[in-house]
Structure 1
Amino acid sequence: MHISADSFRARFKEDEAVREDPDVQTAIRGIEEVDEKLQRINKAREDILADRTLNEAAKKAEFVKYVQKADNKISNKISQVSSIVDRRTAELNKVINQEISDEAGSSRYSSEVRSHVASLPHASDRISFVKKLVDSGEYTSVSSILGAPSFLSGLDEKHKKTLLDYYREKRFSKQIRISKAMERIGQSMLDKTTMTTKFRKSIEDKGTLKDLEAQKRRIEAMAN
């Protein structure tokens, strides 16, 4: 599905973190440039088709020349934006999915925190306690619980995974939103690649420029 640069700006308007991200801004400008070039190709096709001074072969030849020149610029811009998306997505995912176990012993009270959680009477109590720590931004304490073996806090693996997901969604909310924005932009680039491929295919269907020029000369010779 084709999504314009303005559509992306409207979608991210209320999210300052995404809207002001330099890589998101650069990628959206890239989308804008690609859209403008694709629009020029469509306009050129309409103008060439409407030109009554050209015969059919000449029209095809003119369109082929125009698209061949524009195609390289579009492909290069799509490649540039895709590289930005891939690089930034990899950086964000590295932060989002970093091992929480690296911080498990960063608090001087790590063992006490885990013992307290383990002493709570029910699994629901333990889950509720950890979620409250996450909500209050006590990430060091959360790391000491979720970064250590589950049995030390009386959690089973299923509950630990649920809490890890909750922790990441809260702690890395900004990074996750930017990552999702990058994924959408990346998909838009794939869609635009498909569009340029269709233009390229339409050229191949019409024959090579050399063949079209030869056909054009033959028709002009016959007319004379």
Structure 2
Amino acid sequence: MENANVDTRVSPGLHPDNVKQIDGYDDDTAPLLGTTLTAFSTAYEGIRAVHDAREKAKTNPTWNEAQQIIHTDDFAQKHLARISKGFDSVRATLEKQIAHFETELATPLESRASVGISGEIRKYVKDMTTEERHKFIQQAIDEGDAVSVSAVLGAPAYLSGLTADFQRTYTRYWNERSAPETARKLKAVQGAKAMIEERAGLVFKELEKAVGAAPHKAQALRKAKTEAEQAFVLKDIG
């Protein structure tokens, strides 16, 4: 983090620079995480603004401590609404992106060899022991053997002696190896979603600290103020 942008009054866990530390963040994935960075920046700067407002409230000679809390809490609630909306919106977008990349990495394969060759490969694999079969497929994936991999994974699983679950798993491995950019993007948006889910809750405590009182105390003070002001309302006599 850049020291110039760090405010010791705010939790470092909410600093937007944390987004740049997400596994998979680089020049290619940065655009995908731009809104996540903005959401954390909105939270960080919002909490900082409430701290500043609290300090300014203390300089108002006409406000006692209760009034300072009430006015600062009013300001904090406005920021909370903006911050919450931002995190909710970004999280929804990330979920859509995750679903999109997951679908791409789960796309079934199509055989790249002739029907005859593909059939021979599947028979060869099916005649293996379970251990040999999995070792063969994993090695084919590691070596980038598209002909063998597509022959086994591009047809009904049972033709190669596989279960549907294992076929899906191996398809995912192959697609990740064949499309590392997509796999990296998926990892990045998953990391961003996890960061929001883990840290967005810090906002409530941070705003409470900035206001100088818990929300229920501010609400009680606000209620007492309203009730007291009722005594100064002119009432019709008649």
TM-score normalised by the chain length of structure 2 = 0.67
> Is contact 1:127–1:163 with CA below 8 Å preserved after alignment?
no
Q: Kindly tell me the number of residue pairs found equivalent between the two proteins.
A: 211
Other-structure match for 2:201: 194
Contact 1:27–1:185 (CA under 8 A) maintained in structure 2: yes
Alignment equivalent of 1:33, drawn from 35, 42, 49: 42
What is the deviation of 1:127? 3.3
Q: 1:60 aligns with which of 69, 72, 76?
A: 69
Q: Mark the runs of 5 or more structure 2 residues left unpaired by the alignment.
A: 1-10, 231-238
Aligned to 1:76: 85
CA 1:58–1:131: 2 relative to 1, 3 Å:
same
CA drift of 1:55 comes to 0.7
Q: How far does residue 59 in structure 1 lie from its aligned partner after superposition?
A: 0.8
Say if 2:62 is the partner of 1:51. Answer: no
Aligned to 2:21: 10
Q: Deviations over 1:64-105 (max 9, x none)?
A: 22113222221222222122212111111222233x2xx344
Rounded Cα–Cα distance in structure 1 between residues aligned with 2:163 and 2:84: 50
Q: Which runs of 5+ in 1 are unaligned?
A: 219-224
Give the equivalent residue in structure 2 for 1:206.
Answer: 218
Q: Percent identity?
A: 21
Question: Aligned in 2, Cα 1:12/1:180: closer, same or farther, shift over 3 Å?
Answer: closer
Question: What CA deviation, in whole Å up to 9, does each residue of 1:144-172 have, x standing for no partner?
Answer: 20243445335577865764454354235
Considering only aligned residues, what root-mean-square deviation do their CA atoms show, in Å?
Answer: 3.7
CA distance in 2 between counterparts of 1:13 and 1:92 reads: 14
Residue number in structure 1 paired with 2:99: 90
Q: TM-score, normalising length from structure 1? A: 0.71
